[in-house]
């Protein structure tokens, strides 16, 4: 209840808890009115447990009066008790004012028990400064539990006697601070990642205190064990009492430093710590990758533990009993198979289970998917992700089964035990060689500056020298080599090395358990799974780790080596993050990157001071940048914590540990458009018209392009060497994107893209220039310019490149995107003539959409519309509106009438109306008095009036005209009262007028390139029709714009209104889908993490609001401004931040061409079916071809023996033109050799192929047999006619044999064939095989021989019979290769007859023979190529028919 009393003590209002309010003039004067004169407000807050204040609203009046009386009586009594004296005018009235101040104080009732409460004398602000507000009962319960747990663990720790003297007080202060932080937390905390009140950071200190106290008690209990099990590993005694006691003392000291550590912000908030801990466990122990969040990290660790339990069961059953080298237990072989298969499957799965869960829900809960589609707009990306995951699961089902079977077979073969140690040495040498070539030599040769000495890449891509890219990136030979070497390394080499070590170590463990059975088995299982998963995911650094393992444990410290598998496992942790064996913890790769970042940042010759503080910090940092900085670097390398420059200076301080994802908050950009803003804001303020919001769609499209190609491009080596957490910058003419690789798996990459501003700050532009400018022109060496050697960099350029934290890895990286063309609309519409053209296209577009609308007949026949449009049907109707219509922009404006009439409208646009009407399928009346002309006239008047209304009736002014044009373009139509007839059907606005204004802008743009082209109605009609189908024209705030961009539409156009820094302008934006070229810059990831951490501490904890602070000033050596501006908002100001996006290998088109896409049952079935059909077709074709050759040779032999005594002919050679007019060389000679005895099939085949080189004669010397027939396609249907043709053709062959062989060249025997003749014989043999398969495909298997014979006899009949027409008809139907086959069959028959001739013939001249061979060789090659293409097409058709 709240009661308000005015200055005179009158109760003005009373607010009850139920919500009722009573007001009135209750004048209850108090006896001491002077003391009450300054009482302004008295508030009483009570809980629902009191009796009088919790009455029902129905009795509100009685309750209000009773409460008022009790209130007045209470106030009077308190006033009289505090000041019993009568009021006076003396200065002693100050005592009364103090009483008034006491009366004015506010208190809250804190209920302890029902009916028992105490007063809390604080107002709201004071109470909030003292205590944190909790909004949920769960928070209170959790806080109470933590307080109790802190007290209990603190008591137990103190009770052990660890703290004495002043250390007890310090420990109690630490414990009290942890408890008080639950009542009032530090806001903002140094480790808080967000602005404002952070609820999670409240629980961080007590949770860490409980963890440390529990760890102290656990270590103390272990140190007091009298008979502890002592394990020795690498010469160190693990879990000995002395080591546990030392660890306990270090933790106690760490606990004493708890306040200082919290002040420096070295403890992350508790959820960040959980993500970091689970991620590190999964990466270091199980070979996993990064996590996207807490659920992702928990899911990854859980599945790894499940796989570990399954593998442990198999390994324990196999190793618990000894076994000999000649017999490996089947359970161990099964363990090896399962280890390889499950490790491969885990490496192929993402750590984020959301896509997998979505796939399961869509499969088994279809209504869930339907509901999600209804709630959100359609986006193709989720469906792509589900299809990719489905492909991976189907592929893994087959690949894992095959891998398990092969691993089982190899392990059971005892090859690893039989060939030791020779096999290990060979595998090590091969792994080092392949790794060195694949991951060092090839990437260096492909870099922009190989080894930072060479001025250009040695292995260049095809588009390296192209200034403008017009096609996708070409797949080079060295990229194919890189992919196959990686496949060999990942799937064959390293699995063999690990299985070899696993078998040898398991064999030794079965005989001697060093750490105990269970511990040894767990170690080799974890080591095998971690190494296999790491090799499958990213084997880039594996050869370095393997080399150091062999060198360190085989040569340097051979005595402390355990076994190779465990050595390899430990060395992989050392290189990733682990313990050096003697001195300190460190992460080797992170240590090197941190040192490079620090040395580059503090180098005195390239320091960039951003403020005056940086100048003083440079001097004070001299003692700091020695031992302390090196110690910080080592310490931060252990826990993957960033090392950030304090306020951008050269003083470095450590930050708290973060996961690979870095940012705790999942921030991504939400685009503002018409779907998520109110209509009033869209109309009045034009929401989202700033460049950053509108241009963010291009970065979103770039993210989608990377989602399809990034994983494949990384596999192809186009980004150089990469690892988890690496950072890259993609730089082009206007796009500058920051890409953060978060998770790297086997065939997948999860990344996040951050798009920077198109028009950045001055500092951003300077750093972009540093990226884009080249170093090839630098000729300096120290202070002089002696130049440089060819293809090498100068000394200064090479020195400067080594003092950068970034490196250009590729200069021409191709991605699909949009080329942006923007034109100033004011320039294009400045002149009245240009505006007149726009209005003309506007009216013609209205007419087009009206005439082509499917509802035009309904509109014409609608009586209500026709009744309203009766005034427009009159020829004397004049549309007068001086503010709307103007002689300068309206072509149909009549100056003497000061308006537009139907007659003037028809004189200009009637031809166009009639042309559009004729384009319709159904008849549409379009004469001058037709309803179509009336409707078009009315709609054109309406459209122009709407444009004038939107322009505020000031069409002459350019600014007003552009304003109105933009209003209509985005759909803001202000319809006048006389035009309300259009509301009879809203499609008149939505489908006619609205698209017309947009189409007119597109036509107006094109008229600058072809001014007179659209004067032709047919050209204009086709242009509008084409633009309507292919071009997306809409406002950028329309959701259709985003959908069109993400759907990769070819061309888009819009009109943008930009208000920026006082500039108010309109731009016509045209987008054309094309290929964009980017520079890929790899940035030191420790530099990025350090600068991000420094910005977070400076802006959130130190609250530096200076927009020109020194930490964001340009620094070209580290790209400080580009990196800091890419931070999450509000720390940075990126234009777009994408969600975590996963790119899969299966979506890359070029890699599908290398290894054929994912392995699935359907793909395997299709592959086997296509190969079987092709093999069966080839076998049938070969069989028919061989049988046809034998038959024709036999018939030729009989013909030649029957005509042996026919005499000889003289040689003749002639040149006969072909069909296309090209002359062909024909040569004929006589054969001089004959063979005695029976010919062998081999020599017969050779002679037959050699005879293919002969050209058929143009005509026969013997009389031809004249036979009239139809073309082949018609005559082949009758078997009787075919028989007649065969008999007559046989006669034709016999009659023409003598004349043919009298002109034919000599055919040597098998032993006398020349080299050219043998080559020609082999070529014609392949040609005959291909042509025979083609004929088999076209004519069928049974009619193949008939077709071959028919083709031969048609050519043999010559040009004097109608068979020539039949032959030509068949050749036209069959194509060039069939014509070559016909000629080959004809020559084959003639050659077989010629081989039986006994008379010697003179040989051909060598020159003519060579020319003949070359000409016919070219013809045969062309025919063979055509046959191969035809065979491929035929096999695909037959495959589709079989399916």
* pLDDT of res. 1077: 92
The yes-or-no verdict on residue 340 having pLDDT over 90 is yes
Residue 250 and residue 585 in contact, taking contact as beta carbons nearer than 8 Å? no
The yes-or-no verdict on residue 305 having pLDDT over 90 is yes
Highest mean pLDDT among 38-42, 94-98, 297-301, 600-604: 297-301
Q: How far apart are CA 1180 and CA 971, in angstroms?
A: 68
pLDDT per position as a tens digit, 952-983: 877 678 888 998 999 899 888 888 888 888 88
Q: How far apart are CA 674 and CA 694, in angstroms?
A: 12
* pLDDT of res. 686: 61
The yes-or-no verdict on residue 1435 having pLDDT over 70 is no
Give the number of C-alpha atoms closer than 13 A to the C-alpha of residue 754, restricted to the C-beta side.
21
pLDDT band at 366 (very low <50, low <70, confident <90, very high): low
Residues 6+ away with beta carbon under 8 Å from 603: 803, 1117
The yes-or-no verdict on residue 862 having pLDDT over 80 is yes
pLDDT band at 74 (very low <50, low <70, confident <90, very high): low
Q: How far apart are CA 583 and CA 560, in angstroms?
A: 16
pLDDT per position as a tens digit, 768-798: 888 888 777 777 787 788 888 888 998 888 9
The yes-or-no verdict on residue 47 having pLDDT over 60 is no
Mean pLDDT (whole number) for 707-718: 93
The yes-or-no verdict on residue 1170 having pLDDT over 90 is no
| Better-scored residue on pLDDT, 1240 or 744 | 744
Mean pLDDT (whole number) for 1303-1312: 39
Q: For the CA atoms of 185, 190, 191, 193, what is the dihedral angle to 10 degrees?
A: 90
| Better-scored residue on pLDDT, 34 or 185 | 185
The yes-or-no verdict on residue 301 having pLDDT over 90 is yes
pLDDT per position as a tens digit, 259-269: 899 888 899 99
Question: Per the confidence metrics, is the pTM higher than 0.95?
Answer: no
* pLDDT of res. 699: 93
Q: How far apart are CA 1095 and CA 1089, in angstroms?
A: 10
The yes-or-no verdict on residue 663 having pLDDT over 70 is yes
- The residue to which tokens 């009722």 are assigned: 20
Q: How far apart are CA 181 and CA 167, in angstroms?
A: 21
Of 305-309, 924-928, 1412-1416, which range is least confident? 1412-1416
Residue 859 and residue 988 in contact, taking contact as beta carbons nearer than 8 Å? yes
φ, ψ dihedrals at 628, nearest 5°: -65, -40
pLDDT per position as a tens digit, 117-149: 888 887 777 787 788 888 788 888 999 999 999
Residue 175 and residue 162 in contact, taking contact as beta carbons nearer than 8 Å? no
Mean pLDDT (whole number) for 1231-1241: 37
Mean pLDDT (whole number) for 713-717: 93
**DSSP 8-state assignment for residue 1342:** T
* DSSP of 1128-1174: STTTS--SEEPPPEEEEGGG-HHHHHHH-S---HHHHHHHHHHHHHH
Q: How far apart are CA 317 and CA 330, in angstroms?
A: 10
* pLDDT of res. 426: 93
The yes-or-no verdict on residue 1261 having pLDDT over 80 is no
Q: How far apart are CA 1122 and CA 268, in angstroms?
A: 26
How would you write 677-726 as a 3-class SS string?
CCHHHHHHCCCCCCHHHHHHHHHHHHHHHHHHHHHHHHHCCCCCCCCCCC
* pLDDT of res. 1189: 55
Peptide bond into 421 cis (omega under 30): yes
* pLDDT of res. 479: 93
Percent of the chain residues topping a pLDDT of 70: 72
pLDDT per position as a tens digit, 512-533: 777 777 888 899 999 999 999 9
* pLDDT of res. 217: 93
Q: How far apart are CA 1397 and CA 1390, in angstroms?
A: 11
| Better-scored residue on pLDDT, 671 or 1030 | 1030
1257: helix, strand or coil: coil
Peptide bond into 650 cis (omega under 30): no
* DSSP of 253-312: HHHHTHHHHHHHT-SPPHHHHHHHHHHHHHHHHH-----SSHHHHHHHHHHHHHHHHHHH
Q: How far apart are CA 1310 and CA 1234, in angstroms?
A: 11
The yes-or-no verdict on residue 882 having pLDDT over 80 is no
| Better-scored residue on pLDDT, 71 or 585 | 71
Highest mean pLDDT among 299-308, 413-422, 679-688, 1214-1223: 299-308
Mean pLDDT (whole number) for 852-862: 90
The yes-or-no verdict on residue 1268 having pLDDT over 80 is no
pLDDT per position as a tens digit, 1335-1374: 343 334 333 333 333 333 333 344 443 343 333 333 333 3
* pLDDT of res. 197: 82
The total of other beta-carbon atoms located within 10 Å of residue 99's CB is 18
Compute CA distances 510 → 325, 327, 506, 516, 527, whole Å.
11, 13, 6, 11, 17
| Better-scored residue on pLDDT, 1271 or 969 | 969
The yes-or-no verdict on residue 431 having pLDDT over 80 is yes
- The residue to which tokens 């084997």 are assigned: 539
| Better-scored residue on pLDDT, 457 or 1426 | 457
Residue 450 and residue 559 in contact, taking contact as beta carbons nearer than 8 Å? no
pLDDT band at 851 (very low <50, low <70, confident <90, very high): very high
The yes-or-no verdict on residue 437 having pLDDT over 90 is yes
The yes-or-no verdict on residue 1422 having pLDDT over 50 is no
The yes-or-no verdict on residue 166 having pLDDT over 60 is yes
Q: What integer best gives the mean pLDDT of the chain? A: 75
Residue 909 and residue 847 in contact, taking contact as beta carbons nearer than 8 Å? yes
Q: How far apart are CA 1144 and CA 708, in angstroms?
A: 7
Q: How far apart are CA 936 and CA 853, in angstroms?
A: 12
* pLDDT of res. 360: 82
The yes-or-no verdict on residue 652 having pLDDT over 80 is yes
Q: How far apart are CA 1290 and CA 1405, in angstroms?
A: 32
* pLDDT of res. 615: 78
* pLDDT of res. 370: 56
């Amino acid at each position: 209840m709240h009661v308000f009393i005015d200055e005179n003590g009158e109760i003005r209002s009373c607010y009850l808890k139920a919500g009722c309010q009573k007001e009135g003039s209750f004048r209850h004067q108090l006896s001491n009115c002077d003391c009450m004169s300054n009482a302004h407000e008295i508030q009483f807050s009570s809980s629902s447990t009191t009796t009088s204040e919790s009455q029902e609203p129905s009795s509100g009046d009685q309750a209000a009066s009773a409460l008022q009386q009790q209130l007045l009586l209470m106030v009077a009594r308190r006033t009289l008790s505090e000041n019993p004296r009568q009021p006076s005018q003396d200065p002693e009235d100050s005592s009364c004012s103090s009483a008034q101040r006491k009366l004015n104080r506010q208190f809250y009732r804190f209920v302890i028990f029902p009916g028992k409460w105490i007063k809390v004398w604080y107002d709201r602000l004071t109470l909030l400064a003292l205590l944190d507000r909790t909004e949920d009962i769960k928070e209170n319960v959790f806080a109470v539990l933590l307080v109790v747990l802190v007290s209990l663990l603190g008591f137990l720790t103190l009770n052990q006697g660890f703290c004495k003297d002043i250390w007890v007080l310090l420990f109690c202060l630490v414990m009290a601070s942890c408890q008080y932080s639950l009542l009032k937390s530090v806001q903002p905390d140094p480790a808080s990642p967000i602005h404002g009140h952070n609820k999670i950071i409240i629980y961080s200190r007590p949770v860490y205190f409980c963890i440390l106290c529990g760890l102290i008690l656990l270590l103390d209990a272990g140190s007091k064990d009298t008979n502890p099990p002592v394990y020795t590993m690498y010469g160190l005694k693990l879990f000995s009492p002395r080591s546990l006691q030392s660890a306990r003392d270090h933790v106690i000291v760490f606990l004493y430093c708890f306040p200082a550590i919290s002040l420096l912000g070295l403890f992350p908030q508790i959820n960040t710590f959980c993500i970091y801990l689970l991620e590190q466990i999964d990466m270091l122990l199980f070979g996993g990758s990064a996590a996207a969040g807490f659920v992702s990290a928990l899911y990854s660790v859980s599945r790894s533990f499940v796989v570990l339990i399954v593998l442990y069961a198999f390994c324990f059953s196999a190793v618990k009993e000894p076994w000999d080298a000649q017999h490996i237990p089947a359970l161990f072989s099964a363990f090896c198979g399962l280890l390889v298969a499950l490790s491969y499957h885990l490496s192929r799965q993402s750590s984020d289970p959301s896509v997998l869960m979505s796939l399961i829900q869509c499969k088994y809960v279809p209504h869930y998917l339907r509901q999600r589609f209804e709630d959100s707009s359609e986006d193709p990306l989720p469906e792509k992700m589900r299809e990719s995951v489905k492909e991976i699961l189907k592929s893994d089902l087959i690949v894992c089964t095959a891998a398990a079977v092969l691993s089982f077979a190899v392990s059971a073969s005892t090859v690893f035990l039989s060939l030791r140690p020779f096999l290990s040495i060979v595998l090590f040498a091969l792994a080092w060689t392949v790794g060195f070539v694949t991951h060092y030599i090839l990437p260096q040769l492909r870099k922009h500056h190989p080894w930072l000495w060479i001025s250009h890449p040695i292995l260049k891509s095809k588009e390296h020298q192209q200034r403008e890219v017009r096609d996708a990136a070409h797949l080079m030979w060295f990229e194919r080599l890189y992919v196959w070497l990686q496949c060999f390394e990942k799937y064959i080499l390293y699995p063999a090395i690990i299985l070899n070590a696993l078998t040898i170590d398991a064999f030794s463990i079965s005989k001697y358990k060093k750490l105990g059975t269970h511990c040894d088995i767990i170690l080799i299982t974890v080591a095998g799974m971690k190494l296999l998963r790491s090799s499958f995911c990213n084997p880039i650094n594996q050869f370095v780790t393997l080399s150091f393992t062999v060198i360190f444990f085989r040569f340097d410290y051979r005595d402390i080596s355990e076994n190779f598998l465990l050595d390899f496992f430990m060395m992989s942790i050392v290189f990733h993050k682990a313990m050096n064996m003697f001195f300190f913890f460190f992460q080797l790769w992170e240590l090197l990157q941190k040192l490079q970042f620090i040395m580059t940042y503090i180098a005195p010759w390239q320091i960039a001071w951003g403020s005056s503080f940086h100048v003083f910090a440079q001097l004070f940092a001299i003692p700091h940048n020695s031992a302390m900085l090196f110690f910080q670097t080592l310490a931060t390398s252990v826990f993957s914590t960033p090392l950030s420059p304090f306020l951008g200076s050269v003083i470095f301080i450590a930050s708290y540990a973060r996961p690979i994802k870095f940012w705790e908050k999942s921030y991504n950009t939400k685009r503002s458009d018409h779907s998520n803003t109110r209509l009033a804001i869209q109309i009045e303020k034009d929401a989202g018209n700033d460049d950053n919001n509108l241009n963010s769609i291009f970065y979103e499209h770039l993210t989608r392009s990377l989602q399809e190609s990034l994983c494949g491009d990384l596999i192809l080596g186009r980004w150089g060497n990469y690892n988890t957490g690496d950072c890259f910058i993609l730089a082009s003419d206007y796009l500058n994107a920051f890409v953060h690789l978060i998770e790297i798996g086997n065939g997948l990459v999860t990344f996040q893209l951050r798009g920077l501003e198109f028009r950045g700050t001055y500092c951003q532009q300077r750093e972009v220039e540093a990226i884009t400018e080249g170093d090839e022109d630098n000729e300096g060496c120290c202070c002089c310019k002696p130049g440089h050697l060819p293809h090498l960099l100068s000394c200064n350029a090479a020195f400067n490149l080594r003092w950068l934290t970034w490196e250009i890895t590729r200069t021409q990286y191709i991605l699909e995107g949009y080329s942006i063309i923007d034109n100033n609309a004011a320039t294009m519409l400045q002149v009245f003539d240009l505006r007149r053209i726009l209005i003309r296209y506007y009216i013609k577009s209205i007419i087009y959409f009206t005439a082509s609308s499917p509802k035009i007949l309904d509109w014409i026949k609608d009586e209500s519309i026709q009744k309203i449009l009766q005034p427009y049907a009159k020829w004397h109707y004049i549309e007068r509106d001086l503010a709307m219509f103007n002689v300068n922009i309206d072509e149909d404006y009549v100056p003497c009438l000061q308006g537009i009439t139907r007659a003037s409208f028809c004189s200009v646009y009637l031809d166009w109306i009639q042309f559009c009407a004729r384009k319709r399928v159904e008849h549409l009346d379009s004469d001058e008095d037709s309803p179509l002309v009336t409707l078009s006239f009315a709609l054109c008047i309406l459209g122009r009036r709407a444009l004038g209304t939107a322009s505020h009736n000031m069409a002459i002014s350019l600014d007003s005209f552009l304003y109105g044009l933009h209003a209509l373009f985005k759909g803001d139509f202000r319809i006048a009262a006389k035009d309300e007839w259009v509301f009879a059907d809203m499609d008149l606005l939505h489908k006619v007028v609205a698209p017309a204004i947009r189409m007119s802008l597109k036509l107006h743009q094109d008229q600058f390139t072809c001014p007179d082209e659209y004067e032709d109605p047919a050209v204009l009609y086709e242009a509008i029709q084409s633009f309507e189908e292919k071009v997306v024209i809409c406002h950028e705030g329309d959701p259709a714009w985003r959908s069109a961009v993400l759907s990769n539409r070819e061309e888009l156009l819009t009109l943008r209104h930009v208000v920026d820094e006082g500039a108010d302008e309109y731009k016509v934006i045209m987008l054309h889908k094309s290929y964009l070229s980017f520079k890929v810059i790899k940035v030191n990831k420790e530099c990025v993490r350090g600068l991000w951490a420094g910005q977070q501490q400076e802006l959130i904890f130190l609250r530096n609001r200076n927009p020109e602070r020194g930490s964001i000033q340009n620094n070209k050596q580290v790209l400080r401004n580009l990196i800091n501006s890419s931070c999450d908002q509000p720390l940075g100001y990126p234009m777009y931040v994408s969600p975590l996006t996963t790119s899969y290998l299966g979506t890359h088109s070029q890699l599908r061409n290398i290894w054929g896409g994912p392995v699935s049952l359907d793909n395997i079935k299709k592959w086997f079916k296509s190969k079987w059909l092709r093999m069966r077709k080839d076998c049938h074709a070969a069989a028919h071809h061989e049988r046809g050759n034998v038959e024709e040779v036999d018939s030729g032999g009989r013909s030649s023996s029957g005509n042996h005594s026919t005499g000889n002919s003289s040689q003749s050679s002639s040149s006969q033109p072909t069909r296309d007019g090209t002359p062909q060389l024909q040569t004929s000679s006589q054969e001089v050799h004959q063979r005695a005895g029976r010919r062998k099939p081999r020599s017969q085949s050779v002679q037959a192929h050699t005879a293919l080189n002969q050209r058929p004669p143009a005509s026969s010397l013997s009389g031809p047999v004249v036979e009239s027939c139809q073309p082949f396609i018609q005559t082949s249907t009758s078997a009787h006619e075919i028989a007649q043709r065969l008999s007559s053709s046989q006669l034709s062959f016999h009659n023409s044999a003598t004349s043919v062989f009298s002109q034919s060249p000599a055919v040597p025997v098998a032993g006398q064939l020349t080299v050219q003749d043998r080559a020609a014989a082999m070529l014609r043999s392949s040609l005959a095989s291909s042509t025979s398969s083609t004929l088999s495909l076209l004519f069928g298997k049974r009619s193949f021989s008939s077709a071959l014979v028919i083709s031969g006899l048609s050519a043999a009949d010559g040009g004097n019979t109608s068979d020539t027409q039949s032959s030509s008809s068949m050749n036209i139907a069959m194509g060039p290769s069939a014509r070559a086959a016909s000629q080959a069959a004809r020559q084959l028959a003639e050659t077989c007859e010629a081989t039986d001739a006994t008379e010697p013939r003179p040989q051909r001249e060598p020159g003519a023979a060579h020319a003949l061979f070359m000409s016919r060789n070219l013809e045969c090659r062309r025919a063979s190529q055509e046959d191969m293409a035809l065979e491929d097409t035929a096999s695909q058709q037959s495959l589709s028919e079989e399916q």
